[in-house]
Chains A and B, each alone.
Chain A
Amino acid sequence: MDTTPEKRLMKGLLQPKVIAVFALATISLTLSLIFRTQGKKNARELISLAEQLVLIMPAILIFIGLFAEWAGADFIEKYLGDSAGIKGLLASFAFPLLIPIPLFMALPIGNIIFNKKARLAFVYSFFGAMAFSIVSLLFEAQFMGTLWMATRLALSVPIVILLCFLAEWWYNRARFGKPIPEAPSTAKST
């Protein structure tokens, strides 16, 4: 608690499992470099992935911070609350459709909107909709063909919606594990 963020970061990075993953990744990359011509390509892919993460992380974090501070609970409750109905589904689908970010970067936004009284089913449909952002649909149409893309989209939308409500029902009855924690900014002020 009273240690500096840097110390906590180091502590987090020095856990045995982190070192194990790091070691395995290094070994596998080295082996692929030695035994396969693909090795260089793999290393390049990994570096470009890191570049993408580093370049997009600050922007996403600023978005999340500003969103947490400025998006009022009333606004969230109106569009994503219990009484939002079909509007809630549309709103939760619109964001991921327009802004393609990896799921793990959407998780903090999910936590924030849940803590601002969004309905859990809409939080799940927000996560679910990450699977069909416009950018990934374009990639899919290009490589797999339009028919494949259209079929997957047509099947995904109803099934994802159905499962979101089932997941919400299950969450409300489940007794295992820890419930959804408070958002970082509100947790600090109390």
Chain B
Amino acid sequence: MAYIIVNAIAGILLVLSLIKDRKRTVKALSAAWQIAKQMVPLVAIIWLAIGLVIGFSPGGSLSRLLNSDLGFLAIPIMAVVGSFLALPAPVVFPLAASMLKATSHAGSGPGMVGIAAIAALVTCNSMVSFASFPIEIAIMGSRSTTVRLVSAFIAAVTIAVLMGVILHGYHA
């Protein structure tokens, strides 16, 4: 449904643009086509990479990873995993919620490290998105890509650790 609305809006804007100025609309479409040429093969790769990750069913193995006494190491591991995953929101939050449940022991919620590790998965997944780095290098150049990925990673881990401190013992 949302896609129909988005496509309808795009269509309406396109018609408005056509009415206003035909030449500029053609230019706009050719710019869109150039971006498409650049992105379609890369999007295909990302799609397959996500398939690879889903194929290995990260839910169960990640929860197992969290429960095996890793200590503080769990945070960087989850951060790196999250950075590579690039899962969409409807996939990542149910996954994180199931991990939150799996790590909660009866009575007390998960500890500081558990919360921070799950938060690291969520924040790195939405902010770093290492999976799309071939696209980012093609479109934004390698210098900007490096700068942004490193800064986003630092930011994501900082947020995750602070969440662990604030929310320890949290139940979903």
Contact = CB atoms under 8 A, between A and B. Distances in A.
Contact of B9 (A8, A9, A59, A178): A59
A56 interface: yes
B93 A156 contact: no
Contact of A66 (B14, B40, B97): B14
Given A70-B17, A151-B166, A136 B89 contact: yes
Contacts of A111: 139-140
Interface residues of A, number: 89
Nearest to A170: B147
Interface residues of B, number: 83
A1 interface: no
Contacts of B158: 159
Given A143-B172, A184-B35, A29 B140 contact: no
Interface string B120-138: 0011001101001001100
A28 to B, nearest CB: 3
User: Mostly helix, strand, loop or mixed at chain B's interface?
Assistant: helix
Most chain-A CB neighbours within 10 Å: which of B35, B91, B143, B172?
Answer: B35
B55 A21 contact: no
User: Mostly helix, strand, loop or mixed at chain A's interface?
Assistant: helix
Nearest to B126: A131
A50 B14 contact: no
Contacts of B36: 57, 61
Nearest to B93: A143
A166 B126 CA distance: 20
Contact of B37 (A8, A128, A142, A179): A8
Contact of A188 (B32, B34, B52): B34
Interface in B137-160: 139-148, 151-152, 154-155, 158-159
Contacts of B152: 127-128, 163
B73 interface: no
B135 A49 contact: no
A69 interface: yes
Contacts of A128: 127, 152, 155
Interface of A: 5, 8-9, 12-13, 18, 21-22, 24-25, 28-29, 31-32, 36, 38, 42, 45-46, 49-50, 52-53, 55-66, 68-70, 100, 102-105, 107-108, 110-111, 114, 120, 124, 127-128, 130-132, 135-136, 139-140, 142-145, 147-148, 151-152, 155-156, 159-160, 162-164, 166-167, 170-171, 174, 176-181, 183-185, 188
